[in-house]
């Protein structure tokens, strides 16, 4: 093996013995058996050699000594000013077996030499580049070419000199060395602590021209060649530990805004889960590659990068398998550790695929967060994995919506496979069942409900009651102390008339106060008796169960404007009405009550609510606001904690709103579905078969419906507007939707049955090619998001949608009519 050493220059050569005299300097190189030296540069404080020296190396355990020798110009006696020691193994493990052009600080050879340092400040430095050439490993991927002599063709990595701040700017190579060369690249430096670690301790870190440290296995063969096996776990863990020690203040980042792909707990430690996902040569990555048909997987080495914060980074490339629409493309992932704290990790993936259609317009960010899970009763360790994503649009394009939709669908499909594979490797922890979670929430709500005694105390504790009671007690005490003085004027036995005007006024005030108190007591008793008979009672029927927890209200309007209102809420779902209790004299009422709707056959789709002001048992209640909730347009997590703004003049003026928690569940779903289909069969007069699971699943994905929504019927049709649009109609127990895909351009819309005002049949005509059509007329103000698909609008502003079925018109029309009437007959019509 041969060691090529480029000796470029030295700087800041000052010595007390030499004083201000010009300095002659040269460099000596030593290994265990071989010697070499440069020529002498005369009269320069910053000498430049630009010489290449070659030394023979017999063992990688040898060390290269670089000794700088100086003397006064004209003098014969010279002195070794300082030396730098470079282990040969460090060169062998470097990229391409080449150490980049580096400023090495010179250490004094002895304490006597150190006493003559100018200002007692060690500041001598020498710039060298080193390469190792071995014929025995010429077939390896490591470069076998000697070091070029041009110093400016390299990026400079500066090691910190003792006594110098690690953030201080480094001087560039002298003008003599850089004459005629291109402008230098930015100079980066490592801290002195890292230098000592590299030179004296850790043999698994090597530096490259980008200011990074590359982790490799420290195993070498006997002939000195570098092992090309993947990263050892020991080195990966050491790198994470180094990052943790350096970036102690870095916290866990927030989830990305695009959404959550995976949120699950696993029965393993955070350290093990992190190693399974990101350690070099991970078996999980290889199995996922085989599962998804990915080829040409190339996992780059993890690299430590030093800047404001130390981060661990690597690049992974692979070829994504071809699909029906997209050919096989190359994908690049840049993985970066943002956080590597104690039992918590955050890894950001930046994924780009320029070869896909419009691939230069976007890339995708994926954030993996690993942190400790909830404590387990068994005492075992658990970890929580959350994967979020965001689609970054790099260039403005009219196809932004199409790009985001396609990427979102692809991500969810890929990470469904990832979650299944990960579940085979690590045991998942089943989250608490929704039923038990619901019971806990409802129990906590019931505990917060005010008792009748507390409500009565807060209602009657006012000036009217207190003043009437005080006057009554005062008069009673006066009567007790008074002495009977006989009859006066027109009084007779048993009749005691007031003897003065003051007594008359006092008696009148007492009667008025007593009457007001009586009215308040009567109003309170009637309000408490108005509570619905079904409110707060649990139902146990099999089928669909809608549970609504009415928590509180905010800014409830007052009808009179001179007093607070006495609000109560009525709920309507599937033609059933339930009402809450009356909260007396409150602008921000606290109900904390629960109501349950049982619908054994028909799943609920619309919940209507209206707030009234209680005026008495025989008087008309005044509406203070209303609202409705489309249960299909909200996710279960949204329904679990929901603030609903009320509509209406008074409600909008007061910004009234209600706080609800809603739970929709089904018991014995298969039986309730069969009951519903039997009901439809009786109306149709023919057999209705349950659709296969994959068809219902496709229907749910198309319209983003909950998993309990089942498909009843579907048929091909033509949507009639200015231009005919061929597609397909899907009908279920709660909704009817239309979907079309013409050369990749997708059109879809969906209505709940309650939004349809009427369904009419138009007779055959020449325009319809002798085939009748179905006309869906929506309620006023409904279907505005699908207005562009409507053909016309009537005088009252109701939209009309025309469908012409391709198959049997009678079957399609009868099925649609039966489903619509089953949902709307007897149900309360939606509000405008």
Strand order in the sheet with 35-37: 35-37, 23-30, 63-72, 79-87
DSSP secondary structure letter of residue 620: P
The vertex-442 CA angle with 439 and 446, nearest 5°, equals 135
pLDDT band at 722 (very low <50, low <70, confident <90, very high): confident
pLDDT band at 739 (very low <50, low <70, confident <90, very high): very high
Q: How far is CA 818 from CA 47, 176, 553, 631, 797, in A?
A: 98, 94, 39, 22, 26
- How far is Cα 99 from Cα 86, in angstroms, rounded to an integer? 10
Say what angle helices 400-425 and 283-292 make with each other, to 10 degrees. 130
pLDDT band at 324 (very low <50, low <70, confident <90, very high): low
The answer to whether 11 and 46 are in contact (CB under 8 A) is: yes
pLDDT band at 485 (very low <50, low <70, confident <90, very high): low
Q: List alpha helices for 461-569, DSSP H.
A: 463-481, 501-529
- How far is Cα 123 from Cα 354, in angstroms, rounded to an integer? 49
DSSP secondary structure letter of residue 27: E
- How far is Cα 84 from Cα 104, in angstroms, rounded to an integer? 7
Average pLDDT over residues 605-616: 88
The answer to whether 349 and 334 are in contact (CB under 8 A) is: yes
pLDDT band at 120 (very low <50, low <70, confident <90, very high): very low
List the structure tokens of 518.
Answer: 């009586």
The answer to whether 772 and 761 are in contact (CB under 8 A) is: yes
* SS3 annotation, 57-75: CCCCCCEEEEEEEEEECCC
- Kindly report the backbone phi and psi dihedral angles of residue 818, in degrees, each rounded to the nearest multiple of 5, phi listed first: -65, -45
Closest CA to 237 of 283, 204, 198: 204
- How far is Cα 224 from Cα 3, in angstroms, rounded to an integer? 13
Examine the pLDDT at 217 and tell me if it is beyond 70: no
The answer to whether 62 and 84 are in contact (CB under 8 A) is: no
- Through-space distance between the first and last CA atoms of the chain, rounded to whole angstroms: 88
697: enclosing H helix or E strand: helix 693-703
DSSP secondary structure letter of residue 46: S
Examine the pLDDT at 112 and tell me if it is beyond 70: no
Higher pLDDT, 387 or 505: 387
How many residues does the structure list for the chain? 832
pLDDT band at 234 (very low <50, low <70, confident <90, very high): very low
- How far is Cα 624 from Cα 564, in angstroms, rounded to an integer? 12
Q: Residue 359: what pLDDT?
A: 85
The answer to whether 583 and 524 are in contact (CB under 8 A) is: no
pLDDT tens digit string along 275-285? 899 988 888 88
- How far is Cα 652 from Cα 642, in angstroms, rounded to an integer? 18
Instruction: Please compute Rg for the chain using Cα positions.
Output: 42
- How far is Cα 441 from Cα 639, in angstroms, rounded to an integer? 13
The answer to whether 82 and 114 are in contact (CB under 8 A) is: no
DSSP secondary structure letter of residue 608: E
The vertex-216 CA angle with 212 and 220, nearest 5°, equals 135
Examine the pLDDT at 232 and tell me if it is beyond 60: no
The answer to whether 213 and 206 are in contact (CB under 8 A) is: yes
- How far is Cα 2 from Cα 658, in angstroms, rounded to an integer? 82
Q: Buried b / exposed e across 764-778, counting CB within 10 Å, b at 16+?
A: eeeeeeeebbbbbbb
Q: pLDDT > 70: what percent of the chain?
A: 76
Examine the pLDDT at 394 and tell me if it is beyond 80: yes
- How far is Cα 762 from Cα 772, in angstroms, rounded to an integer? 6
Higher pLDDT, 449 or 75: 449
Q: pTM for the full model? A: 0.48
Burial of 349: CB neighbours in 10 Å, binned 0-12, 13-18, 19+: middle
442: enclosing H helix or E strand: helix 434-447
pLDDT tens digit string along 649-689? 888 888 899 999 998 887 666 677 777 888 888 888 888 87
- How far is Cα 653 from Cα 64, in angstroms, rounded to an integer? 85
Closest CA to 31 of 47, 6, 15, 54: 54
Say what angle helices 463-481 and 501-529 make with each other, to 10 degrees. 130
* Beta-carbon count within 10 A of 782 CB: 20
Of the CA atoms within 13 Å of residue 578, those in its CB half-sphere come to 20
């Amino acid at each position: 093996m041969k060691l090529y050493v480029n000796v470029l220059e030295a700087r800041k050569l000052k010595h007390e013995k030499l004083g201000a005299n010009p300095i002659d300097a040269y460099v000596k190189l030593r290994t265990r058996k071989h010697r070499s030296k440069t020529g002498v540069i005369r009269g320069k404080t910053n000498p430049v050699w630009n010489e290449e020296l070659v030394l023979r190396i017999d063992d990688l355990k040898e060390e290269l000594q670089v000794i700088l020798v100086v003397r006064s110009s004209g003098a014969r006696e010279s002195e070794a000013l300082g030396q730098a020691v470079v282990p040969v193994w460090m060169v062998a493990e470097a990229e391409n077996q080449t150490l980049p052009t580096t400023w090495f600080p010179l250490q004094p050879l002895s304490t006597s030499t150190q006493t003559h340092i100018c200002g007692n400040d060690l500041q001598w430095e020498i710039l060298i580049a080193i390469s190792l050439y071995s014929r025995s490993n010429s077939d390896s991927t490591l470069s076998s070419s000697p070091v070029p002599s041009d110093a400016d063709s390299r990026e400079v990595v500066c090691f910190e000199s003792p006594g110098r701040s690690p953030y201080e700017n480094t001087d560039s190579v002298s003008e003599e060395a850089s004459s005629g060369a291109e402008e230098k690249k930015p100079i980066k430096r490592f801290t002195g602590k890292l230098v000592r670690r590299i030179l004296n301790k850790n043999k698994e870190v090597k530096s490259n021209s980008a200011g990074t440290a590359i982790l490799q296995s420290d195993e070498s063969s006997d002939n000195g060649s570098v092992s090309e096996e993947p990263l050892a776990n020991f080195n990966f863990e050491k790198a994470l530990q180094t990052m943790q020690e350096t970036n102690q203040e870095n916290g866990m980042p927030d989830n990305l805004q695009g959404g959550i792909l995976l949120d699950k707990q696993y029965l393993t430690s955070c350290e093990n889960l992190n190693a399974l996902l990101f350690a070099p040569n991970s078996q999980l990555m290889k199995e996922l590659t085989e599962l998804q048909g990915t080829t040409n997987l190339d996992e780059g080495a993890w690299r430590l990068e030093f800047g404001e914060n130390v981060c661990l980074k690597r690049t992974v490339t692979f070829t994504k398998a071809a699909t029906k629409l997209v050919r096989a493309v190359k994908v690049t992932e840049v993985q970066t550790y943002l956080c590597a704290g104690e039992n918590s990790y955050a890894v950001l993936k930046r994924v780009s695929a320029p070869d896909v259609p419009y691939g230069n317009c976007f890339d995708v960010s994926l954030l993996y967060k690993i942190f400790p899970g909830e404590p387990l009763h068994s005492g075992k360790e658990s970890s929580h994995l959350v994967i979020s994503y965001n689609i970054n649009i790099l260039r403005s394009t009219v196809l932004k919506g199409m790009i985001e939709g396609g990427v979102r669908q692809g991500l969810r499909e890929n990470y469904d496979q990832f979650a299944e594979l990960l579940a085979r490797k690590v045991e998942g922890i089943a989250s608490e069942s929704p039923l038990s979670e619901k019971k806990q929430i409802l129990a906590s709500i019931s505990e917060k409900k005010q008792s009748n005694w507390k409500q009565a105390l807060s209602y009657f504790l006012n000036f009217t009651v207190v003043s009437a009671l005080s006057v009554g007690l005062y008069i009673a005490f006066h009567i007790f102390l008074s002495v009977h003085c006989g009859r006066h004027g027109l009084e007779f036995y048993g009749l005691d008339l007031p003897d003065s005007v003051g007594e008359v006024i006092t008696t009148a005030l007492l009667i008025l106060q007593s009457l007001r108190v009586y009215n308040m007591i009567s109003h309170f008793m009637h309000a408490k008796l108005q509570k619905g008979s079904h409110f707060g009672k649990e139902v146990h029927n099999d089928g669909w169960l809608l549970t609504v927890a009415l928590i509180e209200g905010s800014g409830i309007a007052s009808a009179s404007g001179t007093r607070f209102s006495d609000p109560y809420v009525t709920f309507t779902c599937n033609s059933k009405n339930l009402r809450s209790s009356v909260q007396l004299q409150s602008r921000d009422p606290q109900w904390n009550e629960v109501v349950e709707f049982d619908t054994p056959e028909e799943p609920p789709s619309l919940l209507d609510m209206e707030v009234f002001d209680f005026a008495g048992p025989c008087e008309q209640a005044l509406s203070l606001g209303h609202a409705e909730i489309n249960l299909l347009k909200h996710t279960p997590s949204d329904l679990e904690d929901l603030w609903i703004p009320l509509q209406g003049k008074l409600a909008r003026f007061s910004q009234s709103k209600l706080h609800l928690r809603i739970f929709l569940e089904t018991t014995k779903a298969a039986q309730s579905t069969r009951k519903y289909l039997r009901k439809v069969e009786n109306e149709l007069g023919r057999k209705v078969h349950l659709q296969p699971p994959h068809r219902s699943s496709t229907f749910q994905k198309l319209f983003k419906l909950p998993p309990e929504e089942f498909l009843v019927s579907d048929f091909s049709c033509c949507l009639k507007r200015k231009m005919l649009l061929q597609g397909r109609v899907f009908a279920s127990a709660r909704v009817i939707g239309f979907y079309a895909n013409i050369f990749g351009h997708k059109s879809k819309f969906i209505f709940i049955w309650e939004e349809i005002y009427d369904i009419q049949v138009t007779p055959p005509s020449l325009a319809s090619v002798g085939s009748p059509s179905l006309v869906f007329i929506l309620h006023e103000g409904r279907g505005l998001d699908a207005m562009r698909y409507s053909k016309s609008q009537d005088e009252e502003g109701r939209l009309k949608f025309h469908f012409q079925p391709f198959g049997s018109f009678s079957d399609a029309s009868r099925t649609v009519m039966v489903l619509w009437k089953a949902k709307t007959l007897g149900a309360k019509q939606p509000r405008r």
